[in-house]
A and B are shown apart, each in its own frame.
Chain A
Amino acid sequence: MTFLRAVVERELRLYLRGVVDLIGVWMFFGIAIAMLPLSIGPDPEILRRIAPGAAWAIALLASMLSLERVFAPDQRDGSLDLLLLHAPSAPLLILAKSLAHWLVTGLPFVVLAPLAAIALGMDVQGVWPLAGALLIGTPALSLIGTVGSALTAPVRRGGILAALIVLPQTIPVLIFGTAAVSETLKGRDSGPYFSVLGAFTLAAVALAPYAGSAALRAVRN
């Protein structure tokens, strides 16, 4: 537990030190949302319909932007060796890294995405379901993303590659995350969708740390 907290605190300090990059990720989200009406057209009916899904998809893309920062810098300067040396177990390190990644590029979207969806014209009843679905689903994105980041840790400019290999793996989260919101907006029972979304996140919590440590072992020999 102390190790987990120490790593998360260290990660957050490092993220804050490069806070411009973080603000860049959040700004990317805002700009990408603004591009939608500009490209699709200002028709409020279309925008209202795509709002929750667009917010989800762009939040997913934005959270991929910072994947390169999770392991590559530590791999380059050798601190990953020290972290692994001090970690009670490697999966715990993956878990801590994912948690820190989620705090800076998952949790903010729980607030930002509903605002963006409202700006696109989503019904106000959608705010809580969208925020809830993101709160339940984004941890899975960070966990899967961390595994992708571990797989590309020694690769120069591995960020794009990490996003390429991670995005297909996040499809179930995206499908059920958006379905949970749209079913609520249609007035149907969306409980099962939230449950499945939660199941994905729990499965990711259980499996991703091990996949991530296997990935680190594989790429670091």
Chain B
Amino acid sequence: MAKALHRLANPARFLRIAAPLLPWTAAGAAACIGAGLWFGLVDSPPDYQQGDAARIMYVHVPAAWNALAGYAGLALASAVALVWRHPLALVAARCIAPIGACFTVIALATGSLWGHPMWGTWWVWDARLTSVVILLFLYLGYMALIHAFDEQETGERAATVLALIGAVNLPVIKFSVDWWNTLHQPASILRMDGPSIDPAMLLPLFLMAGGFTLLFVCLIIIRMQTELARRRVLALRRAALAMPQASDA
């Protein structure tokens, strides 16, 4: 695996692999989200208790999954960057953070909209909600730290260490917060005795989850392409400044 990672450390090679992937992930995301929205909003039964309000689940749950998966990706990229001094992993981590933070905000906002009709309140200090807020703070702290340094790479290295500390601490925080208070409905998909949710609802949910994940990948690729292009411009500009005669000529 390390060898494959090192092959990807070359930005040009990464871009050669990523560029053809981009339209596929974009099209896949559009198709999955489109189909998921159709099945979710039109062609699925309303929940027997929650009625049509339960349909917000098709946005809420995939966003929450992606918020978590995003932090896992951030931690993984950070670990790779720290262990193998992998330059592209630094770029990847940097690009994952704002997207993951956005999914976290979406999960929080849709959850709040869902909570208002169901629980009668926009917000409760329940364990799962609080964990997601803390996750958002971890994302925001990472982004604040990465931008606090004059030297871009220093900020990235510092943020890498922070992401790993967060990843180690996150299960402890989760466990503490769970113990502290619990009201949110327990997980109903990933359970030992199979999902407790109707298959008609499961299909759009998985379509949306797949679509959101593809969207995530697609956005990461776009951000990484942009970031690499920006660095290229900076490097070229610096080179031009270093050789004024060459740029005059």
Residues of A near any B CB (own CB < 8 A): 147, 151-152, 154-155, 158, 161, 164-165, 167-169, 171-172, 175-176, 179, 200, 207, 211, 214-215, 218-219, 221
6 further A-B contacts with Cβ under 8 Å, apart from A164-B144, A175-B176, A200-B172, are: A151-B145, A164-B137, A168-B166, A215-B162, A218-B154, A221-B151
Answer whether residue B158 sits at the interface, using C-beta atoms and an 8 A cutoff.
yes
Asked if residues A171 and B141 are in contact (CB atoms below 8 Å), the reply is no
| Chain B 166-194 interface residues, beta-carbon cutoff 8 Å to A | 166, 168-169, 172-173, 175-177, 179-180
Residues on B with C-beta less than 8 A from A171 are 134, 173, 176-177
Complex Cα distance A165/B134, Å? 11
Q: Please, which residues of chain A bring their CB within 8 A of the CB of B177?
A: 171, 175
Contact residues in A for B169 (Cβ distance below 8 Å): 169, 172
Given contacts A151-B145, A169-B165, A219 and B157 within 8 Å (CB-CB): yes
Q: Which residues of B from 132 to 150 have beta carbons under 8 Å from A?
A: 134, 137-138, 140-142, 144-145, 148-149
Contact of B162 among A155, A165, A172, A176 (CB under 8 A): A165
Asked if residues A168 and B158 are in contact (CB atoms below 8 Å), the reply is no
22 contacts between A and B (CB under 8 A): A147-B165, A151-B145, A152-B145, A154-B149, A155-B148, A158-B148, A161-B144, A161-B145, A165-B141, A165-B142, A167-B137, A168-B134, A168-B138, A169-B173, A171-B173, A171-B177, A172-B176, A207-B168, A211-B164, A215-B162, A218-B157, A221-B154
The list of the 4 closest CB pairs from A to B, nearest first, reads A218-B157, A172-B176, A165-B141, A168-B137
With beta carbons under 8 angstroms apart, the residue of A147, A175, A219 that contacts B154 is: A219
B160 within 8 A of A: yes
CB distance from A22 to the nearest CB of B (A): 26
Inter-subunit contact B173/A165 (CB<8 Å) = no
Contacts of A176 in B (CB 8 A): 176
* Closest chain A CB from B37 CB (angstroms): 34
The total of Cβ contacts below 8 Å across the A-B interface reads 73
Closest to A220 in B: B154
Given contacts A152-B148, A161-B144, A175-B180, contact A168 B162 (CB under 8 A): no
- Which residues of chain B are near A218, meaning CB under 8 Å? 154, 157-158, 160-161
* Chain B: interface residue total (CB-CB under 8 A): 30
Is the Cβ of A164 less than 8 Å from the Cβ of B134?
Answer: no
Residues of the A chain whose Cβ atoms lie less than 8 Å from the Cβ of B141: 164-165, 168
- Cβ B161 vs Cβ A215 within 8 A: yes
- In the complex, what distance in Å separates the CA atom of A147 from the CA atom of B162? 9
- What residue in chain A is nearest B133 (Cβ atoms)? A168
Most buried by A among B134, B140, B165, B179: B165
Residue of A with least CB distance to B130? A171
- A151-B161, A218-B158 as given contacts; A165 in contact with B145, CB under 8 Å: yes
By a CB distance below 8 angstroms, the chain B residues around A152 are 145, 148, 158
A154 touches B154 (CB 8 A): yes
State whether B144 touches A169 (Cβ < 8 A). Answer: no
User: Which of the listed residues A151, A168, A214 has the most CB atoms from chain B within 10 Å of its own CB?
Assistant: A168
Set of chain A residues within 8 Å of B137, measured between Cβ atoms:
164, 167-168
Q: Is the pair B144, A165 in contact by a Cβ cutoff of 8 Å?
A: yes
Question: Given the complex of chains A and B, what is the CA–CA distance between A165 and B163 in angstroms?
Answer: 10
* Chain B residues whose CB sits within 8 angstroms of the CB of A172 once the complex forms: 169, 172-173, 175-176
Are A168 and B145 closer than 8 Å at their CB atoms?
Answer: no
A161 to B168 Cα, complex, angstroms:
20
A200 to B172 alpha-carbon distance, docked (Å): 9
Task: Please give me the residue from chain A that is nearest to B156 by CB atom.
Answer: A218
- Tell me which of B138, B144, B165 contacts A211 (CB under 8 A): B165
Contact of A219 among B142, B158, B164, B166 (CB under 8 A): B158
The complex places the Cα of A152 from the Cα of B141 at a distance, in Å, of 12
* A214 and B179 contacting across the interface, CB-CB below 8 Å: no
Instruction: Report Cα–Cα, A147/B168, bound state, in Å.
Output: 14
In the bound complex, how far is the Cα of B82 from the Cα of A98, in angstroms?
24
A142 CB to nearest chain B CB (Å): 15
- Does B176 contact A169, Cβ atoms closer than 8 Å? no
Q: A215 vs B82: C-alpha distance in the bound complex, in angstroms?
A: 11
